[in-house]
Structure 1
Amino acid sequence: MVMARKSLDDARELRRSGALIRVLREISREHRGRLAVTYALVICTELAMLLQPQLIGSAIDGALSRHLSPIITLIVFWILLTVSETAGAILDTRTFGRMYFKWVSAFVVRRRKSGAEVSQVVARSALSRELIDFFEMEVIGAVTTFIGLFGSALLLAQIDVRLGLACGVALVIVSISSFFMSNLAIRFHRKLNDRLELEVDTIADGDEVGVSRHFEEIAQWRIRLSDLSAWNFAGSRLIALALIVAVLYVGASADNISPGTLFAACSYALSFAALSTSLPMLLDQMTRLWDIAIRMEN
C-alpha cells in the first residue's frame, strides 16, 4: 500500500514538471519536416495494413469459388505495401540517426562546459538515446497501436456488433490495469536510473563490496520491471483467448459467414489482443522518459 501511494506521488511529480515536453521540443525543432514525412508514411502504411486480413479472406473465398480477381488484388496490394514499408524503413534510419548525433553532441558539449562530472555526462548521454527512441519507437508505436486497436475493433463490429462490444470491454480492462502498472513502473525506473548514474564512480572506486552491491541493486530493479512485463503478457494472452473464442462462437452461430470472413475476424481478434499489450509498454516507456528528461535538465 505504501509503495502504491509512493508511486502515485512520483507520477504526479513527473507529470507536473513538464521536463519531457521541453526536452522533446528541443530535440525535434530542427527536424519537423522529416518527422512529418516519416509519420505520414507510417499512418498510410498502418491504414493499409488494416485491409490485409480482409483481402486475404476475400482471396480465400475467391480461391474456393474459382475467382481470380480477389487473388490478383491481394498480390498488387502486397507489392505496394512492401514498397511503402521498405521506403519507411530507409527514411526512418536517416531521420532518427541524424537527430541522435546532433542532440547528443550538443548535450555533451553543453554539460561539460557547465562543469558537470564526466561520470554523470556519460550516464546521461547514454540515457538520452531513449529520448530519440521516443520519436522512433514510442510515437510510431502509439500510432500503430491506436490505428490497429480501433481499426480492428471497428472491422470486427462490422462483421458482428457483439465482437466490437467485446473489444470495447477488453480495452477498458487493459486501460485500467495499464494505469496502475505504469505508476509502479515510474518508481522502479527512477531507482534503476539512480543506480546507473553511479556506475562509473562505483567502478572507478573498485571496492569489491560496493561494486557487488551496485550491480545487485540494478539486477533487482530490472527483475521488478521484467515481472511487470510478464504479468502484462499473461493478461494479453487471456484477452486473445477470449476474443478468439468469441469469434469462433459467432462464426458457429452465424448462417452466412464465409471461410474468408471467419479468417479475417480471427486475424483482427489476434491483432487486437497483440496490440493491447502495447498500451502498458508504451506507458512504461513514457515513465522512463519523464525521469530521463528531468535528469537532462538538471
Structure 2
Amino acid sequence: MQKISLKHIILRFKWRIAFTFFLIIAGASLNIFFPLVIGLAIDGLLAGSYEGIYHLGLLGGLTLVIGTAQRFYDTRIYAGIYCQIAPEMVSDGQSKGQPLSTISARSALLTEFVEFLENSLPEVVGAIIGVVGALLLIASLNFTVFLACLGLLLLIMVIYSVTGKFNYALNSGYNDQLEHQVIALESKNKDVVHRHFGALMRWNIKLSDLETSNYLVIWLGVIALLVFTPITVIDDGVLQYGLVFSLLMYVFEYIESLVTCPIFVQQLIRLHEISKRLSCDPVAINQSVELSNSRLN
C-alpha cells in the first residue's frame, strides 16, 4: 500500500483535486476585493453614482456561483477518494496481522485527512490568500498600518516556531492512547476503561492549555493592532470615508485570516504525526504507550 499523507494523497489524485483547487483559489481571490469595492461604492454613493453598487453586485454573484460549484464538487470527489483508500488500508493491515484495535483506530484517523482536504483546505487557501491580499492592499492604503500588520505576523510565526515541537509530542501521546481504545473497551474492566479515557482527556487538556497560552499572546498583539489602526488613519488625515472603511475592513480581514492560520498549523502537525503512525509498525506503538502515559505524570 502507498504511504498515506496529504502530499501523497494530493499527488495520487492530482487530476481530481486540481479542479477544486482552481475553484478554491478563484473564490478566495474574489473575496479579497469585497472591502475595496464596498469602500468605492460608498464614495460613489456619496458622489451620487451607483456604478460601485453594480460592481459590488457583480462581484457577489460571481463569488456565489464559484463557491456553490466548489462545494458540490468537493463532497463527491473526497468521498470517492476515501472509499478508495480506506479499504486498501484495512486490507494492508489485515495482511500484516495488525490487531483489530489498531485497524479500527487508524481507519478513524484516516478520515481526518479527507476531512481536512474537504473542509479545512478551502479555509487554509482562503486564509493564505486573505493574508497576502490584505497586506498588499493595506500597504497601498497606509504603509504605517502595513508595517504594524507585519509585526503581528512576525509575532505569530515566532510563537508557533517555538511551540510546534511540543504540539507534535502531545498529539503523538494522544494518538498512542487512542490506538488502544478497542483493547480497553474489550477488557470489561472498569478500572482499565476509566484509566484509558482519563489518559485521553489529560492529553486533550495539555493540548488545550498549549493553545490557550498561544491564544493569549497572539490576541495581545491583535488588540494592539486594532487600537493602533484607527489612531494612525485619523492622524494621517484621510478624508475619503469609503477608503477609510476599506482600510479598517482589510485590517479586520487580515486579523481574521491570520488568527485562523495557527489552527491549520496544528491540524497539519497532527496529520503529519498520523501519517508517520499509519506507516509505523503497531508493535512500536504498543511499546510507546507506557512511555506516553508516563509523560502525563
Q: Do both proteins adopt the same fold according to a TM-score greater than 0.5, normalized to the shorter chain?
A: yes
Aligned equivalents of 2:92 and 2:81: distance in 1?
17
- The corresponding residue for 2:6 is 24
Per the alignment, residue 16 of structure 1 pairs with: none
For residue 164 of structure 1, what is the aligned residue in structure 2?
146
What is the Cα deviation at residue 25 of structure 1?
Answer: 4.6
Whether 1:245 aligns to 2:227 is: yes
1:181 to 163, 166, 183: 163
1:231 aligns with 2:237: no
What is the CA-CA distance between 1:21 and the residue it aligns to? Answer: 7.5
Kept in 2: contact 1:203–1:211 (CA 8 A): yes
The equivalent of 1:118 in structure 2 is 100
Corresponding residue number in structure 2 for 1:257: 239
Q: Take 1:21 and 1:286, find their aligned partners in 2: how far apart are those partners?
A: 16
Instruction: Identify the residue that residue 9 of structure 1 maps to in structure 2.
Output: none
Residue 208 in 1 paired to residue 195 in 2? Answer: no
Check the 8 A contact 1:27/1:103 in 2, yes or no: no
The alignment-based identity, stated in percent, is: 27
Residue matched to 1:294: 276
Select the residue among 237, 240, 263 that pairs with 1:281. Answer: 263
Considering only aligned residues, what root-mean-square deviation do their CA atoms show, in Å?
Answer: 1.9
Whole-angstrom CA distance in 1 between matches of 2:143 and 2:163? 31
- Distance apart, 1:115 and its partner CA: 1.4
Report what 1:64 is aligned to: 46
Task: Give runs of ≥4 in structure 1 deviating > 6 Å.
Answer: none
Which has the higher mean CA deviation after the structures are superposed, 119-128 or 53-62? 53-62
Tell me: CA distance 1:236–1:61, structure 2 relative to 1, closer, same or farther (3 Å): farther
TM-score by length of 1: 0.87
Deviation at 1:140, TM superposition (A): 3.3
Following superposition of structure 1 onto structure 2, how do residues 182-201 of structure 1 map, counting pairs within 5 Å? 182-201=164-183
Aligned equivalent of 2:26? 44
Give the letter aligned to residue 254 of structure 2. Answer: F
Q: Are residues 258 and 235 of structure 1, via their aligned partners in 2, closer, same or farther at CA, if it must alter by over 3 Å?
A: farther
What is the CA distance between 1:77 and its match in structure 2?
1.0
Structure 1's unaligned 5+ residue stretches are: 1-19
Could you tell me which residue of structure 2 aligns to residue 217 of structure 1? 199
Q: Deviations over 1:1-39 (max 9, x none)?
A: xxxxxxxxxxxxxxxxxxx98633543354211211111
For 2:29, the aligned partner's letter is L
Structure 1: distance between partners of 2:261 and 2:69: 27
The structure 2 residue matched to 1:146, chosen from 128, 153, 169, is 128
Per the alignment, residue 290 of structure 2 pairs with none
The answer (yes or no) to whether the contact 1:232–1:280 under 8 Å persists in 2 is no
Secondary structure of 2:238's aligned partner: coil
The change in CA–CA distance for 1:22 and 1:100 in structure 2 (over 3 A counts) is closer
Contact 1:179 1:280 in 2 (8 A): no
Which segment drifts farther, 45-54 or 25-34?
Answer: 25-34
**Distance of 1:89 and 1:130 partners within structure 2:** 18
| Alignment-derived partner of residue 284 in structure 2 | none
Residue 5 of structure 1 corresponds to none
Alignment match, 1:3: none
Contact preservation (8 Å) 2:138, 2:145:
yes
Per the alignment, in what secondary structure is the counterpart of residue 255 of structure 1?
coil
Q: Which letter does structure 2 place at the counterpart of 1:274?
A: E
Please say if residues 43 and 143 of structure 1, whose CA atoms lie closer than 8 Å, have aligned partners that are also in contact.
yes
